[in-house]
Amino acid sequence: MAKRFITLLLIALLAYMFLPFIVEVDETSQLNRVAEKYVTAGPLELGAANLVTAVIVTYRGLDTLGEIVVLFIAAVGIGFLLRKPSKKKIAAPKRSSSEILRTGSDFLIPLLILFGVYIFTHGHLTPGGGFQGGVVLTSAALLFMLSNTEARFNKQLTEVIESVSGIFYLIIGILGLILAGGFLDSRFLQLGEMGRLFSAGAIPIIYSIIGIKVGMELIGILEKLRKEEI
Amino acid sequence: MTVISILGFILIIIGLWGMLTQKNIIKMIIGFSIIDTGLHLVIVSIGFIKGRTAPIISKAVEGLDTGKNFIDPVPSALVLTAIVIGLAITALMLVYAVKLFRFKRSLQIEDFEELKW
Amino acid sequence: MVNPIYIFITSLGAAFLLNLFQKINRKIADLIFFLTLAVINYISLFWFYQLLQGYEAAKIYTAGFLPPYSINLYLGIEEAVFLVLINLLGFFSAVYLYKKFREISIKAMILYLVLIMGLNGLVMTRDLFNLFVFLEITSITTYALISLEDNKYSLTAGFKFIIAGGLVSTLFLIGTIYLYRLGGSLNLDFLVNSGVLNTKAGILATFLLVFALLIELKPFPANGWALDVYQSVHPGIAAIIASASSAAIFFVIYKFIPLMPSSFLPLLAGIGGVTFVFSNLMGLKQTDARRLLGYSSIAQMGLLLAALALIMQFDNLQSLSSIIVIIGGLFINHFLAKAGLFWLAGIVQKRNIRSWKIIANNPPLLLVFGGFILALIGLPPFPGFWAKWELVMQLSANNMMVWVWIILAGSLLEAVYLFRWFGYAVKNTEVEEIRTEAAQYLPVLIFLLGLLYLGMEGTHLVSGADSIYVLPVLLGVILYVLNWLPNKLKGSLCLLAVIYFSYRLLPALQDIYQLFGVVFLIGSAVLLITTFARKDIFKGFYPLLIIMILSLGNLLQAKTSLQFFLSWEFITITSYLLILRGKFSLKAALIYITFSLAGAYLILAGMGLAFRDTGVVSLAGLASIVNSGYIYVLLGLGFLIKIGIVGFHVWLPGAYTEAEDDFTPFLSAVLSKMGIFGLIMLAILLGEPVLKGIQLNYILGWLGVLTAFFGALLAAFQEDIKKLLAYSSLGQLGYIVLALAIHSHLGWVTSIYLTFTHLLFKGILFVAVAGLLSRVKTRKMYEMGGLINNMPLTFISVLIAIIALSGVPPLSGFGGKWLLYSSLLEKGWYLQAGLAFFASTIAFLYCYRILHSVFLGQPKTALRDVKEPSVWYIVPQYLFLFGIMAISMYPNLILKPVMSAVSTYFASSIYWEDYTVISSLGYWNGNAVMMVTMGVFMIPLLWLLFRIKAVTKVKQFNIVYAAERPDRPETTHYAHNFFAHYQKALGFLARPKVTEFWGNIAEVIHSVGALFRQLYTGNGQTYAIHILIFLLISYFILGVK
Amino acid sequence: MNSVTLILIGNAILSLFLITIWGLTLNGMVMKIVARVHGRFGPPVWQPFLDIIKNNAKRTMIAHGTMFFLGPVFRIASGIGTYLFIPAIFGSTVFSNFSFSGDVFLVMYFIFFGQLGMALGAGESGHPYSPIGVSRGLAQMTAFEVPFSLAVISLAVQYNTLSITEIVAAQQGSILNWTIFTNPLAAIAALIALLGMNMHNPFSIVIAPQEIPIGPPTEYHSAYLGMLQTNRAIFNIAKLVLYMNLFFGGATNFITLILKTFLIYIFTSVAVGVAFPRFRTEQSIRFFLKYPALIGLLAIIIVSIK
Amino acid sequence: MIFGKKRKVVTKLENDGLKAEEKELFCDLPPRTYKGLGKYVEKFLNWARANSLWILGFGTGCGAIELRPLMTARYDMFRYGIAPRPTPRQSSVFIIGGYASIKTIKRIVRSYEQMQSPKFVIALGSCTINGGMYWDSYNTVNRIDYYIPVDIYIAGCMPRPEAIIAGFEALKKRIIAGKAEGANKYAENFSWYKANQKKIIKDWNMPDYNW
């Protein structure tokens, strides 16, 4: 009890400590220099309609690469952590999925895949992007796993796709370094007309690769956790 | 400050409370997730400017001064990364929980105090 | 020019591809893995080289936009250094881990590559959020790699780590986003002058950022998780965490310094200092090797942090090179040594530090281990030494003496547990062998060589150093390599080296210095002969000895305080290692090194003060200090500890006793004089300082005479012959100090004369005892007896030495006594003279005891066939004996040079008439005394010889024994507890109060350490609370307004 | 060897001869006086001479080893040497001996020469009683040397010299110039120390005839013992002469010397020695380190204040 | 060693009573006879010897009780040059204070042999002459002179101190006359004495001659 009280006290103090953030930092009314530049010059420089995408993929491309890497290593790390099967197995009660689930997923999975691909290919135009698309793809896979408890994803295939897409991402980055201003510069391709699918330089390509890679990584994580018996 | 950021901080505090007082590892992880969520709210709230719109050039904003009508895109970009990283960490935490459970058949944090001093 | 961005590209590409290649062929995957590491090493080395050549730093703008719009990287010389180190460690660690990696999974390699990449990113990036991403990359890979050892311990530790890491990233992110909000940028360079710090929120945000990074450096007390990690993970990974990760984080903090408000620096320094001291304190009680390394790691990072924060606060920084030396030295030292030690922990495979004794079966490993331990403690010739020196100098120069004390105290604690550990390792009693593989062994060796090289390089960087002073080490290394030679040849080589060195050095020295040169070098040369008697193969003896002896010489020619201190430390270490060679010397050696280091640190602090006052490191500069009392006290105390002055003498008997028998003569006859030399040097430079109205020499005099008294008294009650001689040495040194403190012509003449005679007779006695013990396998005197018939030569030399020691005319010892009393009376120190006289009469007690209990009385049955020791023990004794006889016969042989040497500093107060030396009070004609004595000795001797026909030589039991026959020699030999009545009368003075005092201090320190480590309950949640508490405390200490 | 040296040696031998005779006679006289105090006749005055002749004339001797053989030699050499380093009679060339060799500290330390040698010889005999005696003797010696050395230091301060001749010279002129009057505390301390030095009661534990037959020389006999007895006479007189010189104004002729040494000896051996029981070793150590040492300290303090 | 080199060692004693490992702890030389120096010198020395009699009292029997009064002021033996001495090494007169039991004869022999010559023995009381009142005891020696040479017998049971002093005077005369050569006698008839001694001392664990 005493410990809880102390913890409460500490947290209260922490809250007190955070007060300046609430009290002193008032609501923004103006864009700062960086944001201003992104918002005003972004469309011209990169040709992307979705400026958030522009920031993610190009201006802060290295972060995004890092993000991909984080997911990648999370997937690898989970695989690494779970490399040894449990010694004492308590099998979860197995039961096949219900009819509704199966029929529903049969119907939904293609749509979800399509939607996912749409999201990452149109990341530079509309809200969404590689990560979001990838997650939608994964949700399709999750649905599939739920409906077909016995079926397995081809681990080899997902891994190969994942690796290859990762390499492609890097290659595009290098292309940017060689052909344009710097690593991950998306402008080595034509900017094209804003609003078109094939515009904004390499952004759609990058986002597609990201989408595929994120999808595969998340599927990999799901697959590993799924087969895991505790 | 905006309500959202205050809400975010409240979530952070709540999550922290959970993380520091709950003995169950899964509950601690949930606490962490709550912290994370609160954090994301705080980040997003930073970029928000009242009365402005998302920084996507579309028909709705055509012809307007983007600098005056868009909110800050940077926090939106950052929060995406933060979410992904939070996801990764949460996933690892859960896997750790799985592994720990295997050793002791327990999820109580006090059961894992062999290493000390 | 290779763009540094390729570091990321290659490592990521390889990481992505490894999985694929593994499916094709594991070998190719492995090859790619190492190739990648090689490539990033190449890139960083390339840039390092380029930047050294003066090329411009690499500025990398990603996405083709200038900052602050895009993320940019920067690779300057500082970054390059860190990159090179991290990548080298990455490569070698990979080599080390290769076998483990192969066994487990390619995933480990992938994670490893990404980890290294992440560390590179941390160093190079200039963007806050990008930094966060890299931080998370390194954290996540670390979380995963922790399970390389898949067991309960590593996983619990990992989970604790994740909890802490989660909190850290939260704090970091809050800080980042608010900095962005307030500063309008995520770029470090643009944030610096953006006015962020004008608001409380801005400071808070900065604080959160810095604090998050700080937690990654594992500061006390918010570091329980880190210790668990160090303890449980695979040593290869621990090496990465301890060295590479800490390095990267440390560098990030360094990058952040421009951003911090100046009020952060004291806080950082405080946290660093507290961490340094407390981690070392808690390390004292630790028995798990890896956890111990964890404590040490954390402590070292604390020190680095403190040093960095302190340097940044300096008003007047001397030069850039001193920053490089301090930070670079400390850092590289920790980096290489800690990694090496963790690797070693993996090779040895033993958890408990006591079990490390198996390492002694593998001399190369032991050597490496010793090297790392020395480096970690910050002893020469490793970089840490230069760094600590420079740090202390600069701290003193900036009037931060408190910090000097904190750092020295922490260092001492660290030295204690590291040396204790090393001691356990040296003492081998097991036959168990260590399995070593080249892949594991090579990285360790390379790191040690790197440390050595960089340490040698340090001589160029630090002002006042000279590479000549590290040359002895080189000679030592050569001798070590020549280990396969026969012992006598090695010994002769040593002897030649010493003789040549004396031939070069002695003529170059002046007056008193030259005399001490003779004591140090010629004395050592003679004593070296003793070592020829060794038969067994023994590694490292001569190398250490030669380093020690030559450093003794270097001590004399030191021109700067650094040269002096360097040689001093060399002697300390080598003598410690040599003492440690004794069979049961573990505890004694530890006490010795603890006191020696404490003394050395006092000297260091004193030299720091001197540097503050003079601004130069030259020894001669000391003379210009006006208010020199404090410096005199510090330096003097350091020297006195080495002498073993009463109160600090507890190390002395143990060290003398437990050292190998043929090394003890060096300790007593030669090494003890370095403290004397130090005091004389100090007195030459500083004169007679006064502190707060107290004449320091007056105190010194009393200390000296009390040492003489207690040394003699304690010696009288010993049963162990070496311990007896050790206390006797102590007493004799007391006289020397007393004479020195008189600070007059006569006093100094006395002091140096005593130094010489002490060399002669203690040399004889300890060599004789070494020879004796080589035949008699016990040190207990009452177990010997009657050995005069077995070893007459030894007896004669001991007899002469004892007569000389006790100060009985006609031998040289009386000269010393006479000079001493004359000088004391001349000075007006009557009470001291009285006590000194009392002490010198007490000396008779132990003098007689040695002769009687060992050589006279009843020979024991078991020892009846004991023979005279090997000729190598006899020769040095008789060389010294010759010296004693010559000095006794012609005292002016030695007195005249001494007098003329001392006349440089004082007007002479004694003069000569033929052989008579006349002081203001009395006179003494050594030659006449000798002649008269011989005359009066001859007359009765002739009478007895005239009656020789009547004499029957009888055997040992032909004694009157209350009309009975003696039963056994053991019960007939009266030797045990010889001065029982004396003990009854004055034993209360000889009770081990001082030992108890120091024992209590050690006990209290250990208890405090034990108390504090209770903080680490093992509960991950508690650790999180610690972090929170620590956060709040730090913040409120900071007191942001 | 030149004539100066020869003359020196000749003088020394003469001085030594006379002093030996006087020393033995003194011993005999004191034995007689002590016997009279006891109410006995006592042995004849020449008894010491007879004993020495008899002992030297013993037909057999045994030796336990070289050191045993040399022990008495050391002892007597020390006794003779001690005497020879003291200027026995002020102003006399014959009796100035070899005092040019050193000052009072030489004398003090030369005493140890014989004690050490004797102790070694006794040690080699292998008889347990010898080292027991030695151990007691050494222990007691450390104690009684304290007041004595303090007294000597006090003297050195008082006269600003360590030379015995000069100390004696400073006491010439009037009886009131004697140290015992000018520096009574030092003299008292030294005289108490003399009791210990002479090993009469109450400080006779060293030779303790009852418990450990005779202390260190238990195994000594025949000519060895003869030499030890001779030494006892010489050494005794040497100490007395030293005391006489330091505290009682020295002597300007042989008669004065005889008188003064006789009186000093009477004080220690008869006035105190006969009247007291014996101290144990640790008791005598404590005794010497208490009041006599304090008196010695006071003597120094008073002198140095002046 | 320099001792004993010049003298030719005649024979060595067997020392059968000693264990093998103890033999080298004891000197194994037999006693030998000594001649006086010259007639007149010896006379002078004998006079000195006679007037400096240092006694070693062996007080097993009741006779020892009569020795004590000798030292008192009433009898004052010191005036005759007689003095007690605590160790046989330094004594010249051995006084056996009465009967000698079989147990003590061993000590008597040992002490006698450890005295330095010339040495004299005074047998005190009747028991030493013929056993006295103990003549038929199973445990006493009747005649002490079978075992060591005796110079003077003082008869009586017990002799008074005056008798003892008279005995000393007689001994003095004997010494001055040069007749007190017991040590030489003992050396000459060593095997006879030794045989007698060994006959009654069953547990002989000493060397044959105790130096």
Q: Is the pLDDT of residue A92 over 70?
A: no
**pLDDT tens, residue by residue, C76-94:** 888 999 999 999 999 999 9
Q: Is the pLDDT of residue C675 over 80?
A: yes
Q: Is the pLDDT of residue C659 over 80?
A: yes
Tokens 């750092």, residue located = C407
Domain architecture of chain B: domains with CATH: 3-52+65-112 (1.10.287.3510)
Q: Is the pLDDT of residue A104 over 50?
A: yes
Which of C130-134, C952-956, D270-274 is predicted most confidently? C130-134
Whether residue A76 is contained in a domain is answered as: yes
How many domains does one find in chain E? 1
Residue (of C106, C132, C107, C105) closest to C121 by Cα position? C132
Residue C917 DSSP code: E
Mean pLDDT, rounded, for C416-422: 91
**CA Rg value for chain A:** 22
Whether residue E95 is contained in a domain is answered as: yes
How many domains does one find in chain A? 1
| pLDDT for residue A88 | 63
Q: Is the pLDDT of residue E3 over 60?
A: no
**Using 50, 70 and 90 to split pLDDT, how confident is the model at C317?**
low
Q: Is the pLDDT of residue B61 over 90?
A: no
Q: Is the pLDDT of residue A63 over 80?
A: yes
Chain C contact present for B41, CB below 8 A: no
DSSP secondary structure of C143-180: HHHGGGS-SHHHHHHHHHHHHHHHHHHHHHHHHHHHHH
Chain B contact present for C70, CB below 8 A: no
Contacts with B84 from chain A: Cβ below 8 Å: 67, 70-71, 131
**pLDDT tens, residue by residue, C548-601:** 999 999 988 888 888 899 999 999 999 999 998 888 888 899 999 999 999 999
| Number of Cβ within a 10 Å radius of residue C460 | 10
Q: Is the pLDDT of residue E57 over 70?
A: yes
- Whether omega for the bond prior to residue C876 falls within 30 degrees of 0, making it cis, is no
The whole-model pTM stands at 0.92
Chain A contact present for B64, CB below 8 A: no
Whether residue E45 is contained in a domain is answered as: no
- Determine whether the interchain pair D113/C808 forms a contact, defined as Cβ–Cβ distance below 8 Å: yes
Q: Is the pLDDT of residue C140 over 90?
A: yes
**Using 50, 70 and 90 to split pLDDT, how confident is the model at C836?**
very high
Whether residue E119 is contained in a domain is answered as: yes
Mean pLDDT, rounded, for C160-170: 91
Give just the sign of the alpha carbon dihedral C473, C479, C480, C482: positive
Contacts with C861 from chain E: Cβ below 8 Å: 21
**pLDDT tens, residue by residue, C598-651:** 999 999 999 998 888 888 888 888 888 877 788 889 999 999 999 999 889 999
Closest Cα of chain A to B92: distance in Å? Answer: 6
Report the percentage of chain A scoring pLDDT > 90: 7
The answer to whether E and A touch (≥3 CB pairs < 8 Å) is no
The crossing angle, in degrees rounded to 10, of helices C561-580 and C672-686 is 160
- Determine whether the interchain pair D126/C924 forms a contact, defined as Cβ–Cβ distance below 8 Å: no
Give just the sign of the alpha carbon dihedral D139, D144, D148, D153: positive
Contacts with A21 from chain B: Cβ below 8 Å: 1, 5, 9
User: Residue C558 and residue C996: Cα distance in Å, rounded?
Assistant: 38
- Determine whether the interchain pair C17/A79 forms a contact, defined as Cβ–Cβ distance below 8 Å: no
Chain D contact present for E40, CB below 8 A: no
Chain A contact present for B73, CB below 8 A: yes
Chain C contact present for B105, CB below 8 A: no
**Using 50, 70 and 90 to split pLDDT, how confident is the model at C429?**
low
| pLDDT for residue C90 | 92
Whether residue E164 is contained in a domain is answered as: yes
The answer to whether B and D touch (≥3 CB pairs < 8 Å) is no
Strand, helix or coil for residue C437: coil
**pLDDT tens, residue by residue, D145-172:** 999 999 999 999 999 888 999 999 999 8
For residue E73, what is the nearest residue in chain D, using CA coordinates?
D40
**pLDDT tens, residue by residue, C746-784:** 999 999 999 999 999 999 999 999 999 999 888 999 998
H-only helix segments in D125-183: 129-159, 164-170, 179-182
Contacts with C170 from chain B: Cβ below 8 Å: 12, 35-36, 39
Q: Is the pLDDT of residue D46 over 80?
A: yes
- Determine whether the interchain pair C965/E210 forms a contact, defined as Cβ–Cβ distance below 8 Å: yes
The crossing angle, in degrees rounded to 10, of helices A61-81 and B73-104 is 10
**pLDDT tens, residue by residue, C851-866:** 999 998 888 888 888 8
HEC-encoded secondary structure of C335-403: HHHHHHHHHHHHHHCCCEHHHHHHHHHCHHHHHHHHHHHHHHHCCCCCHHHHHHHHHHHHHHHCCCHHH
The count of CB pairs under 8 A between chains C and D is: 259
| pLDDT for residue E2 | 47
Question: Which one-letter amino acid corresponds to residue E135?
Answer: W
Chain C contact present for A176, CB below 8 A: yes
Q: Is the pLDDT of residue B46 over 90?
A: no
Residue D280 DSSP code: -
| pLDDT for residue E5 | 47
The set of chains that have 3 or more CB pairs under 8 A with B is: A, C
Chain C contact present for D150, CB below 8 A: yes
Average of per-residue pLDDT values in chain D: 89
Whether residue A161 is contained in a domain is answered as: yes
Tokens 């599927």, residue located = A219
Whether residue A145 is contained in a domain is answered as: yes
Of C856, C925, C981, the CB nearest to D120: C856
Give the number of residues written for chain B: 117
**pLDDT tens, residue by residue, A114-149:** 999 888 888 888 888 888 889 998 999 888 888 887
Average of per-residue pLDDT values in chain C: 89
Q: Is the pLDDT of residue E4 over 50?
A: no
Average of per-residue pLDDT values in chain B: 86
Whether residue A89 is contained in a domain is answered as: no
The set of chains that have 3 or more CB pairs under 8 A with A is: B, C
The H or E element spanning position C924 is strand C923-925
Chain A contact present for C1002, CB below 8 A: no
Whether residue E9 is contained in a domain is answered as: no
**Using 50, 70 and 90 to split pLDDT, how confident is the model at E173?**
very high
The H or E element spanning position C993 is helix C993-1013
Average of per-residue pLDDT values in chain A: 83
**Using 50, 70 and 90 to split pLDDT, how confident is the model at C734?**
very high
| pLDDT for residue A132 | 87
The token duo for D23 is 């020393």
- Report the side by side order of strands in the sheet with C916-918: C911-913, C916-918, C923-925
| Number of Cβ within a 10 Å radius of residue C76 | 14
Whether residue E32 is contained in a domain is answered as: no
Of B2, B74, B85, the CB nearest to A27: B2
**pLDDT tens, residue by residue, D236-248:** 999 999 999 999 9
Give the number of residues written for chain E: 211
| pLDDT for residue A37 | 82
Identify whether the C-beta of residue C326 lies closer than 8 Å to the C-beta of residue C307: yes
End-to-end CA distance of chain B: 44
Mean pLDDT, rounded, for A41-68: 83
**CA Rg value for chain E:** 18
Identify whether the C-beta of residue C513 lies closer than 8 Å to the C-beta of residue C555: no
The H or E element spanning position E140 is strand E140-141
DSSP secondary structure of A15-83: HHHHHHHHHTSPPB-S--HHHHHHHHHHHHHH--SBHHHIIIIIITHHHHHHHHHHHHHHHHHHHHHT-
Angle at D114 between CA D109 and CA D118, to 5 degrees: 145
Chain B contact present for C844, CB below 8 A: no
Tell me, rounded to whole angstroms, the distance of Cα C761 from its chain centroid: 29
Of E76, E83, E87, the CB nearest to D213: E87
Q: Which residues of D64-91 are buried (b: 16+ CB within 10 A; e: fewer)?
A: bbbbbbbbbbbbbbbbbbbbbbbbbbbe
User: Residue B2 and residue C23: Cα distance in Å, rounded?
Assistant: 53
**pLDDT tens, residue by residue, C520-554:** 999 999 999 998 888 776 678 889 999 999 999 99
Whether residue E152 is contained in a domain is answered as: yes
- Determine whether the interchain pair A67/B80 forms a contact, defined as Cβ–Cβ distance below 8 Å: yes
Chain B contact present for C717, CB below 8 A: no
The token duo for C1011 is 């108390």
Closest Cα of chain B to A153: distance in Å? Answer: 20
Chain E contact present for C954, CB below 8 A: yes
Q: Which residues span the domain enclosing E131?
A: 53-200
Which CA distances in Å does B44 have to A58, C68, C208? 20, 20, 19
- Determine whether the interchain pair C69/A59 forms a contact, defined as Cβ–Cβ distance below 8 Å: yes
The set of chains that have 3 or more CB pairs under 8 A with C is: A, B, D, E
The token duo for C266 is 């004291």
Which CA distances in Å does C158 have to B100, C122, C284? 10, 21, 25
Whether residue A23 is contained in a domain is answered as: no
Q: Which residues span the domain enclosing A202?
A: 32-83+115-226
| Strand pairing category for E93-96 and E53-58 | parallel
The token duo for D293 is 């040492």
Q: Is the pLDDT of residue D210 over 60?
A: no
Identify whether the C-beta of residue C230 lies closer than 8 Å to the C-beta of residue C291: yes
Q: Which residues of D208-219 are buried (b: 16+ CB within 10 A; e: fewer)?
A: beeebbbbbbbb
**Using 50, 70 and 90 to split pLDDT, how confident is the model at A86?**
low
The H or E element spanning position D269 is none
Closest Cα of chain C to E41: distance in Å? Answer: 16
Of A11, A59, A72, the CB nearest to C65: A59
For residue E35, what is the nearest residue in chain C, using CA coordinates?
C950
| pLDDT for residue D151 | 93
Q: Is the pLDDT of residue D279 over 80?
A: yes
Residues near D35 by beta carbon (within 8 Å), at least 6 away in sequence: D41, D42, D43, E76, E78, E79
Judged by phi (left if over 0) then psi (alpha if -120 to 50, else beta), residue E65 lies in alpha
HEC-encoded secondary structure of E49-117: HHCCEEEEEECCCHHHHHCHHHHCCCCCHHHHCEEECCCCCCCCEEEECCCEEHHHHHHHHHHHHHCCC
Q: Is the pLDDT of residue D198 over 70?
A: yes
CATH number at residue E91: 3.40.50.12280
- Determine whether the interchain pair A183/C63 forms a contact, defined as Cβ–Cβ distance below 8 Å: yes
Closest Cα of chain E to D73: distance in Å? Answer: 16
Whether residue A65 is contained in a domain is answered as: yes
For residue B79, what is the nearest residue in chain A, using CA coordinates?
A56
**pLDDT tens, residue by residue, E5-33:** 444 555 788 888 888 888 888 888 888 88
| pLDDT for residue C211 | 92
Of C950, C953, C964, the CB nearest to E107: C964
**pLDDT tens, residue by residue, C946-986:** 888 888 888 888 888 888 888 888 888 888 888 988 988 88
- Report the side by side order of strands in the sheet with E152-154: E82-84, E53-58, E93-96, E120-124, E152-154
Whether residue A8 is contained in a domain is answered as: no
| pLDDT for residue C537 | 64
Whether residue E170 is contained in a domain is answered as: yes
Of C117, C130, C204, the CB nearest to A20: C204
- Determine whether the interchain pair E27/C953 forms a contact, defined as Cβ–Cβ distance below 8 Å: yes
Cα dihedral C232, C233, C234, C235, rounded to 10, equals -80
Q: Is the pLDDT of residue C801 over 90?
A: yes
Chain A contact present for C196, CB below 8 A: no
**pLDDT tens, residue by residue, E117-128:** 889 999 988 888
